[in-house]
Chain A
């Protein structure tokens, strides 16, 4: 009587254990997928925030020096080549500023096109800014 009871319970326990391990593996796989998805989403949001702030910083520097791309590069510690400024605000993103003269007659403004790309060259932020030249700022 005793032997039969213990053997049947050992068998039941083993079956239960196998089912539990299978169920746990499936659940853990789903949860791991959620963790990875959350991690990727956090990385993306971090990149977007950094990109937006870097673009804003660059735009204000560009406007402050009245569209002079060399001075903008000096302020930001960036490299300039063919009217194009580029630098890495963080390890994961690259910011590019392309300066274009306006098409108006007297040429008082310079348009700056800002693109921020991630490591896979995907644009995560872009905007345009106009730097005005020959204008005074009255602080009265």
Chain B
């Protein structure tokens, strides 16, 4: 009776430590590998998306910058103020004339090019008649401005009020 019991115990202990144990270890190892692989892939994908967004934002900015530079180059190629006004009107720019008692007449041209749906490249040029009938153009402003509506009242419902 005692001998049979010992054999049974040995049989059970062999069964638990041998068959099945390695399967559990393998499942754990594969699970760990899979989790780490998926995490790495997700991180890489996020990095790739971020770099693509950076790429697009830089390209969008320089596309707008290119267009604004073309506009300024067109103004530089104009022969007189009337031609400048015509170019400005054609491109949808705002033409503004200001008089100064000391320096005479100043002309300002405001022009904006959309960079993306939320940003514009806004430029302001000062045009003054130079020597020998040349026209001097000074860049007063060349900045990207945020055009989307800004909402100041964003609150988080952290606590429920009765």
Known: A23-B30, A34-B40, A42-B44. A138 touches B20 (CB 8 A): no
Contacts of A5 in B (CB 8 A): 11, 14
Docked-complex contact A136 and B139, CB < 8 angstroms: yes
Q: Which A residues between 48 and 77 are near B, CB-CB below 8 angstroms?
A: 48-49, 51-52, 55-56, 59
Contacts of A49 in B (CB 8 A): 50-51, 54-55
Docked-complex contact A125 and B47, CB < 8 angstroms: no
Q: Which A residues between 87 and 140 are near B, CB-CB below 8 angstroms?
A: 102, 104-106, 108-109, 125, 127-132, 134-138, 140
Query: B interface vs A, CB < 8 Å?
Result: 7, 10-11, 14-15, 18-20, 22-23, 26, 29-30, 33-34, 36-38, 40-41, 43-45, 47-48, 50-52, 54-55, 58-59, 62-63, 65-66, 69-70, 72-74, 76-77, 126, 136-140
**Chain A contact residues: over half helix, strand or loop, or mixed?**
helix
Count A-B contacts at CB 8 Å.
143
Docked-complex contact A45 and B139, CB < 8 angstroms: no
Contact of B15 among A9, A125, A135 (CB under 8 A): A9
Docked-complex contact A38 and B41, CB < 8 angstroms: yes
Closest 5 CB pairs of A and B: A130-B69, A45-B51, A38-B44, A138-B138, A34-B37
Contact of A44 among B37, B48, B62 (CB under 8 A): B48
A83 within 8 A of B: no
Closest beta carbon of chain A to B23's beta carbon, Å: 6
